[in-house]
Structure 1
Amino acid sequence: MMTDLVTSQPAMRRLRLSPTLSKYIARQYLSWFCSFFFAIVAIIYLATIVDLLDRLATKDVSLGITLNMAFLKLPYLSQEVMPFTILFAAMATFWRLTRSHELVVARAAGVSVWQFLLPVLASSVVLGALAVCALNPLSSVLLSRYERLEANYVRNQASMLAVSETGLWLRQADESGQSVIHAESIKPGSVALQQVMVFRYAEQDRFVDRIDAREAQLQSGRWLLFDAWLARPGVPSEFHEQLALPTDLTADNIQDSFAPPETISFWNLPGFISLMQAAGFSATPHRLQFHRLLALPMLFAAMVLLAATFSLRPQRRGRVGVVILAGMLTGFLLYFLSNFVFAIGLSGTIPVVLAAWAPAGVSLMLGVAMLLHLEDG
């Protein structure tokens, strides 16, 4: 029995993955990741420039502004393609280690597939955390600047709505000038503003009058104000049970005027969601974006497991390309299915948390199941 214990101790030690091997595998993976990431980012930047040149062809916009707009949008697009970068980098790493028989030697030494996957999984989770905590705040700030430039140069439209702790602010323009509307809140499920103040200005920002109302309901082509007090400079205030204010706003373009979820930092999303809910607006897109970012490290880990199922086994000559293509198609299929689930979540058909976490969770379980099958086989 003592002999069995002595002979089993080296085998037990061989089952542990050495720090040197872990660092080597992680370094190989990060090297491939950086190569793929910067190559894809460069391609995206060039494609964005071409797209903006086509959209701004009829506008009086200089090349410098076009290049600046493409640069401002680049971090957001880079974040969107990171799951594919993780997939390609993991497949390249495992394929290279398998081709050079380094993983074969590691397996012969008693290292399991889960042990030499651990450095890649840990690196991917760290990359996911960095993408959420660092890259996303940067991309949100730059994307908001891009949105403003695009509104000015492409759509010729400025933002007309803002939400703050004091309520919400709307700006509208008509033939006589412009109006600034402030409301403390909005009735859920409708466009009925509560505790409204309206400041009306003529040309050259000349103040005309102020309206204080209990409620303002958006109807076709007008705001209908109830219990309104109309105050003009040098004239006593007038009370109106109902007062009509012309407008070209609709419920849809008011909702569309909110800051897109992608332009709000991960750290600021919870506060913005609370402000929108307090104001009476639906915060479903922003809640979905928040949970989607939280699930990003899990999605990166799932991409590594999927890459391992297609790249770890030695392949016959001529089948390598087929296997790599199958892995890439699987990644793209998961991407489109994720977008489909997110769209369902935005519609309110399924809970936001389920819509945000389901793609990453299902991909992770699928990768684990396939690896368990291959490992047992």
Structure 2
Amino acid sequence: MLPSIISRYIAGRFLFTILTIFLCCFLLVLLIDFVELIRRGGNKEQADTLSLFLMSLYRVPELTERILPFATLFGSIAAFLNLSRRLELVIVRAAGMSAWQFLTPALFVAAALGIFAFAVYNPASAFLKDKSLEIDARIFGASFSSSGQTASQGWVRQKGEDGDSILKALTSYDNGRKLGGVTVFSYDQLGNFVERIDGKAAELEEGYWRLSDVLVTSAKSAPRHFETYLVSTHLTPQEASETIANPESVPFWQLPHIIDQAARSGLPAYKYRLQYQTLLARPLLLAAMVLIAATVSLKVFRFGNVGKMILSGVLAGFVLYVVTELAKDLGNTGLVNPILSAWLPAIVASLLGFSILLYQEDG
């Protein structure tokens, strides 16, 4: 009974500390992002305070997904330090529990947070990000080039009944079927440049893009403004999802369907496979953060050097983040298998943390 009570107590302390740090980071990011939107949208007629706040509130969850591993690391360090400072770890050890026994509740909390992150939080953040991009396109459109919401990885070349065209958008939502801040360079059947088309928004329909609030510029005539303008395309919704949509904007539960569609269409789906595997590896990554925190926190108050040990934990977390991002870049290009890119950093970090703890506690 006693170990069960202690385990619940430790799990509660870890959960509270991690969520507190995550919430503080969430509110800080929300405040900074909202202030920046107010500054950039000050001269826009459609940019009322409520719309800007909702836009910021909707897109912050997607931004804070990247903060969760660091919140877990710092929250675990803080929890271990509090348990050590109040001599609770000493009491737990005196009661006969080993380090591995009181680490188990913390690892369980980290794994549960990782599962919740990809199963619930990620779909919710993807849905809210779509809402924020709709507000972004409505308020800022093509003129808001520094919104920070990149749609495609570059210019997309597409064929159509009227000839080829090259398209780029600042924002995308609805899996790439709706765009904001659109620029299109149109060519005729012989490959000669015809016109440049700048639209505030675009929506993919069968056989064409429907652009709204459009400025058309060509060498043969003065710039013309149209409320609606059509650009022919053979791009299908599946191809738009793969070539235009940002994989981070796709909910976790839709990723297998998009990957399957891309495979049947003969399109590469490296970035979607990597995103799917990265989310699946999130519980192990968070558990690795707990192990890293334990290696630098368990013996702090017995041997001193508090600041040095905490700094080493922060540096270890930063190095893990850099390695994870490097592996992600390699996986996005197809140079490394997406499964290997997503899982290897978390596995290596977990094994290193486990080995160090094994040496410290039992060596």
Query: Residue 28 of structure 2 aligns to which amino acid in structure 1?
Result: I
CA contact (8 A) 2:173 2:249 kept: no
> Which residue is equivalent to 1:167?
none
Q: 1:102 aligns with which of 88, 92, 95?
A: 88
What is the alpha-carbon distance in structure 2 between the residues aligned to residue 200 and residue 87 of structure 1? 46
| Letter matched to residue 345 of structure 1 | G
Superposed counterparts of 1:189-338, under 5 Å: 198=207, 258-315=244-301, 319-338=305-324
Counterpart pick for 1:26 among 11, 34, 46: 11
Q: What is the SS of the residue equivalent to 2:65?
A: helix
Match of 2:132 in 1: 146
| Residue in 1 that maps onto 2:349 | 363
Q: 1:123–1:148: structure 2 CA closer, same or farther, 3 Å change rule? A: same
Q: 2:66 aligns to what?
A: 80
Is the alpha carbon distance of 1:58 and 1:318 closer, same or farther for their aligned partners in structure 2, counting shifts above 3 Å? farther
Q: What is the number of residues matched between the two proteins? A: 299
Q: Give the residue type in structure 2 aligned to 1:117.
A: L
Deviates more, 1:69-78 or 1:277-286: 277-286
Query: Shift of residue 28 of structure 1?
Result: 1.2
- The alpha-carbon deviation at position 77 of structure 1 amounts to 1.8
Deviations along 1:271-296, one digit per CA (max 9) or x if unpaired, are: 01111222332211111000000000
| 1-structure distance, mates of 2:68, 2:211 | 49
Q: CA deviation at 1:267?
A: 0.7
Distance 1:203 1:343, change over 3 A: closer
CA distance in 1, matches of 2:114, 2:35: 29
Quote the Cα distance in structure 2 between the aligned partners of 1:30 and 1:159.
35
1:349 Cα deviation after fit: 1.5
> Which residue number in structure 1 is paired with residue 24 of structure 2?
39
Indicate which of 9, 12, 35 corresponds to 1:50: 35
Contact map agreement 1:163 1:276 (CA 8 A) in 2:
no
Question: Does 340-349 or 143-152 show the bigger shift?
Answer: 143-152
Matched, 1:63 2:49: yes
2:157 aligns to what? none
Q: Distance in 2 between matches of 1:262 and 1:200?
A: 23
Give the aligned partner of residue 215 of structure 1: none
Change (3 A) 1:119 1:315: same
The one-letter code matched in structure 2 to 1:348 is G
1:93 to 60, 71, 79: 79
Task: State whether residues 122 and 252 of structure 2, in contact with CA within 8 Å, keep that contact through their aligned partners in structure 1.
Answer: yes
- Consecutive unaligned residues of structure 2, counting only runs of 5 or more, are 143-168, 178-182, 187-194, 214-230
Structure 2 residue identity aligned to 1:113: A
Q: Is the 8 A contact 1:17 1:115 kept in 2?
A: no
- Long gaps (5+) in structure 1: 1-15, 165-170, 183-196, 205-244
Q: Tell me the alpha carbon deviations over residues 340-371 of structure 1, each in whole angstroms, 9 at most, x when there is no partner.
A: 11011112211111111111111111110111
1:180–1:198 Cα contact (<8 Å) kept = no
1:235 paired residue number = none
Report the Cα offset of residue 48 of structure 1: 1.3
Q: Where do 4+ consecutive residues of structure 1 move more than 4 Å?
A: 157-164, 171-182, 197-204, 253-257
CA contact (8 A) 2:111 2:283 kept: yes
Deviation at 1:18, TM superposition (A): 1.1
Identity %: 35
**Is the 2:10–2:102 Cα contact (8 Å) retained in structure 1?**
yes
Contact 2:34 2:56 (C-alpha < 8 Å) held by counterparts: yes
State the alpha-carbon separation in 1 of the partners of residues 60 and 278 from structure 2. Answer: 20
- Counterpart contact for 1:288–1:356, Cα < 8 Å: yes
Identify if the C-alpha distance between structure 1 residues 68 and 201 changes in structure 2 by more than 3 Å, giving closer, same or farther.
Answer: closer
> Measured at CA, do residues 162 and 122 of structure 1 come closer, stay the same or move farther in structure 2, by a change above 3 Å?
closer
Q: CA 1:361 to 1:49, structure 2 compared with 1: closer, same or farther past 3 Å?
A: same
The worse-fitting range, judged by mean Cα deviation, of 286-295 and 316-325 is 316-325
Cα-to-partner distance string for 1:66-87 (whole Å, 9 max, x where unaligned) = 1111111121122221111111
